[in-house]
């Protein structure tokens, strides 16, 4: 399918916007048609140059509905975005048309003990800032907390800091409700709850515009930060596993890195001695003492300490000598490395609980130079394990898929981040109902076209 938005159709859209803010200058089109897909050399080649015809900035849900109606009536593609922190081109418009930037939908609908409801464009950091007086916080956030929105987390994200305690966004219980606007001549509003939420979760906005997200909240802890070095990755990984398995230690982040990773990031190189592996941890402040003791039993040496108050200032105000340490974990590790070496890329790996540490050893032996592991410890379905978003030294597409095949064949499941197809990357939820729901919510097949493989308007 080629660009399906004809000039007359785009002109008709513009003529119908009735004062809703939009932009079509070249700089804005370029800026708002991108996400972080360039982490992948494969996606970079495939997605560079894909542009929207028009960026529309609705200020509230009624404007969202108005734009949805125009898109439907004019048969113009519509791709939803906000922070644009995805890594698979989730919000890159493959076939032009409208990019709908919902960043202005950033109000809190309500907050009560243990739950909150937010407009989808609310940034995660700002949600946490607003929750502070209530003694509550989001259970988890990706390393892009500052830019990423709650709608984006639900529509295209997975995990992050907090996953070591609360699991992932896809887990039953992680999302309570979603409000969705359909793309029809007369758009409808649908409230999804219970298992119905999976119809639109992690669906890259192919089947409805999520306007509100209701999530359980965690009562807030004061999270202190520590960076601890270890003689080997094996020792650091054993610490990570041990700490994450300690039910009695309240924790937000347990991120363990191959020695070469901090050595390649300027600010960390100054903290972690050459040749030593590293653990980044965020721990409830009153439990730091015991966590440090646990680290010592694994051969760890404390290299950096920041109080919860100072860590919060780093996150909320950008103050301090180091970015918030979660900004060196998860996929921010890749970002820091790409700044120094644009030839590298990354993968997304899941490890089976019980065998995860053995499989780390196997990867280190099998791919000593090509894969630099950092392990993001987490709870999955009641078990402790880790995922990994390793730095991968990229040579060719063929070699990358050889590595992927070898990993998959050895029970390290790869969620391929080098495909923009919904069915390939991420969850591969064939049972998610997203295709079926698309027939209802997007009868003209206009939403983020090209992302849902093998789908066509019937």
Enumerate binding residues for a second copy (CB under 8 A).
Answer: 112-115, 135-136, 139, 165-167, 171-174, 176, 193-195, 216, 218-222, 244-250, 284-287, 289-291, 293-294, 379-384
C-alpha 6: how far from its chain's center? 33
Q: Which is nearer to a second copy, 82 or 218 (CB)?
A: 218
Tokens describing residue 443: 């009868």
Taking the complex as a whole, the smallest distance from the CB of residue 298 to a second copy amounts, in Å, to: 13
Q: How many CB atoms lie within 10 A of CB 319?
A: 10
Between 49 and 195, whose beta carbon lies closer to a second copy?
195
Q: Shortest distance, CB of residue 171 to a second copy, whole angstroms?
A: 4
Q: Which long-range contacts (CB under 8 A, 24 or more apart) does 436-439 make?
A: 436/199, 437/199, 437/200, 437/203, 437/207, 437/208, 438/206, 438/207
Shortest distance, position 216 Cβ to a second copy, whole Å: 6
Residue that is written with structure tokens 């739950």 in the block: 115
Taking each helix axis from N to C end, the angle separating 288-297 and 233-245, rounded to the nearest 10 degrees, works out to: 140
Helix axes 61-74 and 7-16, enclosed angle (nearest 10): 150
| Nearest distance in Å: CB 295, a second copy | 12
Q: Which is nearer to a second copy, 144 or 385 (CB)?
A: 385
Between 114 and 318, CB nearer to a second copy? 114
In this complex, which beta carbon is closest to a second copy, that of residue 247 or of residue 317?
A: 247
Residue 223 Cβ vs a second copy, minimum distance, rounded to whole Å = 9
> Is the CB of 254 or the CB of 272 nearer to a second copy?
254
Give the shortest CB-172-to-a second copy separation in angstroms.
6
In 3D space, the residue among 232, 226, 376, 241 whose CA is nearest the CA of residue 289 turns out to be 226
* Smallest separation (angstroms) from a second copy to the CB of 303: 20
User: Where do we find the tokens 């597409």?
Assistant: 397
Query: Considering beta carbons, is residue 157 or 449 the nearer one to a second copy?
Result: 157
CB of 15 to a second copy, least distance (A): 44
Nearer to a second copy, 162 or 390 (CB): 162
**Contact yes or no for 95/77 (Cβ under 8 A):** yes
By C-beta, is 79 or 136 nearer to a second copy? 136
Give how far the C-alpha of residue 28 lies from the chain's centroid of Cα atoms, to the nearest Å.
23
Q: How far is 145 from 151, CA to CA, in rounded Å?
A: 12
H or E element in which residue 449 lies: none
Strand partners, 281: 226, 254
- Torsion angles phi and psi, residue 410, rounded to 5: -110, 30
Beta carbon of residue 236, minimum distance to a second copy (angstroms, whole number): 17
- DSSP code at position 410: T
Whichever of 41 and 177 has its CB closer to a second copy, that residue is 177
Give me the least distance between CB of 212 and a second copy, in Å please: 15
CA-to-CA separations, 93 to 48, 85, 321, 417, 421, in angstroms, rounded: 11, 15, 38, 17, 13
Which pairs from 319-324 meet CB under 8 Å and 24+ separation?
A: 322/267, 322/271, 323/267, 324/145, 324/225
């Amino acid at each position: 399918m080629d660009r399906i938005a004809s000039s007359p159709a785009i002109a008709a859209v513009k003529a119908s916007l009735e004062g809703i803010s939009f932009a079509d200058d070249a700089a804005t089109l370029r800026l708002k048609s991108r996400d972080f897909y360039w982490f992948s050399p494969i996606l970079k080649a495939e997605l560079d140059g894909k542009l929207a015809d028009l960026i529309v900035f609705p200020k509230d849900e009624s404007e969202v509905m108005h734009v949805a109606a125009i898109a439907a009536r004019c048969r113009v593609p519509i791709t939803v975005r906000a922070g644009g922190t995805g890594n698979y081109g989730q919000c890159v418009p493959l076939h032009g048309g409208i990019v709908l930037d919902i960043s202005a939908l950033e109000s809190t609908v309500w907050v009560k003990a243990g739950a909150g409801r937010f407009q989808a464009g609310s940034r995660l950091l700002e949600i946490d800032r607003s929750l502070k007086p209530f003694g509550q916080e989001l259970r988890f956030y990706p390393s892009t907390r500052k830019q990423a929105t709650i709608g984006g987390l639900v529509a295209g994200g997975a995990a992050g800091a907090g996953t070591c305690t609360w699991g992932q966004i896809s887990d039953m219980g992680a999302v309570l409700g979603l409000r969705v606007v359909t793309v029809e001549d007369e758009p409808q509003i649908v409230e999804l709850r219970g298992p119905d939420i999976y119809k639109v979760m992690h669906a890259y906005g192919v089947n409805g515009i999520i306007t509100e997200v209701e999530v359980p909240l965690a009562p807030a802890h004061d999270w202190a930060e520590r960076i601890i070095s270890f003689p080997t990755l094996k020792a650091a990984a054993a610490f990570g596993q041990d700490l994450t398995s300690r039910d009695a230690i309240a924790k937000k982040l347990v991120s363990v890195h191959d020695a070469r990773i901090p050595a390649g990031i300027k600010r960390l190189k100054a903290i972690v001695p050459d040749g030593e592996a590293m653990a980044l941890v965020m721990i409830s402040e009153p439990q730091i003492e015991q966590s440090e003791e646990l680290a010592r039993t694994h051969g760890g040496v404390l290299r950096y300490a920041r109080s919860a108050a100072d860590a919060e200032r780093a996150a909320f105000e950008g103050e301090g000598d180091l970015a918030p340490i979660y900004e060196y974990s998860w996929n921010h590790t890749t970002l820091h490395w790409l700044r120094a070496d644009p030839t590298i890329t990354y993968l997304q790996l899941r490890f089976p609980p019980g065998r995860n540490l053995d499989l780390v050893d196997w990867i280190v032996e099998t791919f000593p130079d090509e894969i630099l592991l950092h392990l993001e410890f987490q709870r999955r379905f009641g078990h402790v394990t880790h995922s990994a978003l390793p730095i991968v030294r990229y040579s060719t597409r063929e070699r990358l898929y050889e590595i992927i095949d070898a990993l998959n064949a050895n029970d390290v499941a790869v969620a391929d981040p080098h495909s923009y197809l919904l069915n390939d990357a991420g969850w591969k939820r064939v049972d998610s109902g997203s295709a079926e729901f698309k027939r209802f919510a997007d009868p003209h097949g206009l939403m983020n076209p090209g992302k849902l493989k093998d789908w066509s308007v019937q």
